[in-house]
Amino acid sequence: MSQFGGPGGGRNFSKPTPPQRGSFPLDHDAVCASKMKDYLTCIRAHRGMNDEACRQISKGYLVCRMENNLMAPDEMRNLGYGEGVVGSAASVVDGVGVGSGVKAAVADRRREG
C-alpha cells in the first residue's frame, strides 16, 4: 500500500549538516558590501568566469571580513588562494595591508595549534 496519503507524505527527512568552516556572522552593517559588489560586477563582466582580477577582489573581501571580525582569521592558502599568508608582516591583498588585529589573531592561532 502506498504511503502517499499517510503521515509525512512518505518523505524521508535527512538531518542537516553544518557548514565545513562553521558559522559566521552576517555583515548587517554592510562594512564589506562595496567589495562584495565589486566582486559581483567583476564576475558579470567576465561572464561568470572566476578571472584573476575577480579573485583578487574576493581576497580583499575576505580580508575585510577578517579585519572586521565577520569571519575567523585564516591564511589565504587555506581559503583557496595559494601562497598569500594573512598573518605575515608583508601581507598585502588587493593593495591593502592586512590589519594588525588579524595578524595577531593568526599568530595566536598558530601558537595554540
> Which set of grid coordinates corresponds to residue 24?
559566521
Q: Is 16 helix (H, G, I), strand (E, B) or coil?
A: coil
pLDDT 10s digits, 8-52: 666 667 787 766 666 678 888 999 999 999 999 999 999 988 889
Is the pTM higher than 0.85? The answer reads no
